[in-house]
Structure 1
Amino acid sequence: MRTLVTGAAGFIGSNLVDRLLADGHEVVGVDNLSTGRIANLDGALLSRHFTFVETDIALPDLQAVVAGVRPDAVFHLAAQVDVRKSVTDPRYDASTNILGTINLAEACRRAGTRRIVFAASGGSRYGEPTTLPVREEVPAHPLSPYAAGKVAAEMYLACYADMYGLAPINLALSNVYGPRQDPHGEAGVVAIFGSAMLAGRPTVIYGDGQATRDYVYVGDVVEAFTRAGQAPAPLTGTFNIGTGIQTSTAELHHLMCEVVGNPESPRHEGSRTGEIQAIALDHTAAHSALQWDPRVDMREGLRRTVDWLREITVAPVGAASVATGPEGSRR
C-alpha cells in the first residue's frame, strides 16, 4: 500500500511511519520540522521504502507531493497542538489546523485518494461532558480555539466525503504518551514529569492536581491508525481512541515517582486558561468498527517511556511544569 503521513517527524507520526514500514508499506513522510524532529526518522531514512519531504501542509507544494505519490491512504497528524498558543494566536492555530486540512483534502480529491485518517482531538472536542467515559454521539463542545479548529477540520472532511466521495476516519485521540514524546518545552505531561525526575529537576503541577485525563500508549494509537487505514472504504466517521480510564495529574505523578524511583515533591501553581477538568473516552465504537482495544496498561506504558527517556540526554534547565493539555502530545 502507498501511504503518506503528515507530521511524520513528530511523536505519533514517526512511530506510525516505523509501523507502516515494518508492515511492508511504501511511506512518504511530510513535515515542516517546526516541532517535529528529523532524528525521529533516523531508522525510517535507512529504508528504501521511505521518502521524506520537508514542506508545510498549508503550502501549495503539498498538492504536487500528493499528486506524485497518489497514496492509497493518507494519515493526517500534522497539527498545531498547543492549547495555550491557540488562545494567544488563534489565527496561526486556524491556519495550520483548518486551512492545512482543507489543503490536504483538496490534494487528496485531485489525486483520487479516498482514505484519510485524521488525528482528531478526543481530549478537547467534547468540552466538559457530564457523563464519563464519553461516547461519540455526545455533541462537540469546543472550549478553546485549538478544540474548535480540530472540530472544524473534522467537519470539512465530512463535507469532502459528501461532495467528492472521500472516506475520512477521524480518530479522536485521548492523551497519548510514550517514546519520542518531546520532554522539552510545551509537551506531554508524562515526558515532562519523567525527564525532570531523571534529571533531578523539580516538577510543577498547574492546578490542584485533581484534573483527570485518559492516557493511552502510543503503540496502541499506532495500531488504531493502521487498522483505520486498511478499513473498507465505506467506513467513515469519528471514533474515540482512549482507555476509558480517568487518571488525575496527582495520580500520574505518583505513578511516575514509583517507576522512576523518585521522591514526591511537586510544586503547585495556578490553573491555566483553556484546560478542561475531566475527560475519558468510551472506545466501544472503535472496538466494533476497527476491532481496536488498548492493550498496554499504564504502568507498563510508563515503564517503557521511562526506559526510553533514560537513553536520551536531558539538560537540567529550570523546573518542569505541567498543565495537562487535551492530547498531551506533539504530533
Structure 2
Amino acid sequence: MKIMVVGGAGFIGSHVVDAYIQEGHEVIVVDNFSTGKRENVNKEARVYELDIWSDTEQLESVFRAEQPEIVNHHAVQKSVPESVKNPVFDAKINILGTLHLLDLSVKYNVQKFIFISSGGALTGEADHIPTTEEMDPQLISPYAISKYTIEKYLHFYHITFGLNYTVLRYANVYGPRQAGGGECGVTPIFMNNLLNDQPSVLFAYSDMPKGTTRDYVYVEDVATANVLSISKGDHSIINIGTGKEVFTEDLYCLAQSIIGKNIPLIREKERTGDVKRSALDCSRAEKLLGWKANTPLNEGLVKTFISMRTASGQQTQ
C-alpha cells in the first residue's frame, strides 16, 4: 500500500516508516523538520518538506500527486508545558493542522487515517491503574484537550464522510533516535547525563519519594502496532503500552546498572501539573490488533544505550 507518514522524520515516526517499508509498503514522508532529523528518514521513502498548518497548498499538491491509501499522523506539538504557555500555537498544530489532513484525506479518498493520541495525558490522575480506554479523560492541559478533540473529530469524519480510522494512545515511548527533552525524554536525558558523568534531577512527591510512575514501551513494539493498524482496529481507540508502572528512580537505577556508573540523583519537589501515576491497560490492543509489547524494559534500555553510545562515537562493550 502507499502510506503517507506525517512526522516521519521524528523519533517514533521514523521507526514507523522503517516498519512499513520492511513490510513492503510504499512510504511518503511529510515533515517540516522542526524537530525531526533527515538522518532518521529511511532512504527508500520519498520526502516532502512542508508544514501541515501553514503550507496548505503544497500539502494538497502532495495528496494530489501521491494519492496515498493510508495517512499515518505522527506530527505534533508534543510538549505539555509548551501547550500551557501557548495554547493557541498548540491548537494550530494539533487541531487545525490535523483538520487540514482530514479534509484532504476525504477529498482524495484515503482508505484509513491512523492518528497518534496520548494515553498518559488523557488519563491524568486516574483512580484505577492501569487505565482503560473507557475512562473519562482528564483534560488538564491544552495538549490533552487537542488530542481528545481530534479523537472526536475522527468520529465525526467517519459518520459524516465514511473515513475509516484507528486511534493509538501511546504510553511513554522510548528507544533509539529519541532526543532528550520534556517528560517523554527522561530516558535519553538520564543516559546522556550518565554517559557524560553528570547528575540527573528526580522530581518527587512527599508520599512518592521515588518519583512519578510511567508506562515505558519500546519504540519498535510501537511501530509494530502501527503496521497492524493498517488492516485492524477500525473505528477504535486503542492503548499502546505495557500496563506496568515504573518509578522514575527505578528507571534511573536500571540505566545506571546498564551503563556501569553510579551518580546520585539530585532530588527536587514535584513539578506543577505532573501526573503522579500512569500506566495503560492494553488488553484491547491484544484483542483488536493481536498486539502486545514484547520488549522487556531492561532489553529495550540496553538497545537504546548501544544506539546512543554508537551515535556519540564511543565504543560499546
Counterpart Cα distance in 1 of 2:2 and 2:173: 26
Cα deviation, residue 185, structure 1:
7.2
From 38, 50, 58, the counterpart of 1:55 = 50
CA contact (8 A) 1:8 1:30 kept: yes
Using structure 1 for the length normalisation, give the TM-score.
Answer: 0.89
Unmatched runs of 5 consecutive residues or more in structure 2: none
Q: What is the alpha-carbon root mean square deviation over aligned residues?
A: 1.5
Specify the code of the residue in structure 2 equivalent to 1:217.
Answer: Y
Cα deviation 1:264-297 (Å, max 9, x = unaligned): 4111223223321111101111100100010001
Following superposition of structure 1 onto structure 2, how do residues 60-209 of structure 1 map, counting pairs within 5 Å? 60=56, 61-183=58-180, 188-208=185-205, 209=210
Counterpart Cα distance in 2 of 1:21 and 1:226: 10
Following superposition of structure 1 onto structure 2, how do residues 191-270 of structure 1 map, counting pairs within 5 Å? 191-208=188-205, 209-231=210-232, 235-270=234-269
Match of 1:39 in 2: 39
Question: Is the alpha carbon distance of 1:154 and 1:253 closer, same or farther for their aligned partners in structure 2, counting shifts above 3 Å?
Answer: same
Match of 2:295 in 1: 296
Cα deviation, residue 63, structure 1:
2.0
Counterpart Cα distance in 2 of 1:300 and 1:27: 29
* More divergent stretch after superposition (3-12 vs 149-158): 149-158
Match of 1:278 in 2: 277
CA contact (8 A) 2:212 2:275 kept: yes
CA contact (8 A) 1:254 1:264 kept: no
Cα deviation, residue 262, structure 1:
1.3
Cα deviation, residue 195, structure 1:
1.1
Give the number of the structure with larger relative contact order, counting CA–CA contacts within 8 Å between residues 6 or more apart. Answer: 1
Using structure 2 for the length normalisation, give the TM-score.
Answer: 0.93
Q: What percentage of aligned pairs have identical amino acids?
A: 37
Specify the code of the residue in structure 1 equivalent to 2:226.
Answer: F
Specify the code of the residue in structure 2 equivalent to 1:310.
Answer: R
Counterpart Cα distance in 1 of 2:17 and 2:215: 24
Cα deviation, residue 179, structure 1:
0.4
Cα deviation, residue 230, structure 1:
2.6
Cα deviation, residue 186, structure 1:
7.3
CA contact (8 A) 1:213 1:246 kept: yes
Specify the code of the residue in structure 1 equivalent to 2:153.
Answer: Y
CA contact (8 A) 1:175 1:216 kept: yes
CA contact (8 A) 2:4 2:30 kept: yes
| Structure 2 counterpart SS, 1:5 | strand
CA contact (8 A) 2:53 2:96 kept: yes
Counterpart Cα distance in 1 of 2:236 and 2:184: 28
Counterpart Cα distance in 2 of 1:168 and 1:275: 30
Specify the code of the residue in structure 2 equivalent to 1:18.
Answer: D
Counterpart Cα distance in 1 of 2:258 and 2:10: 25
1:13 aligns with 2:10: no
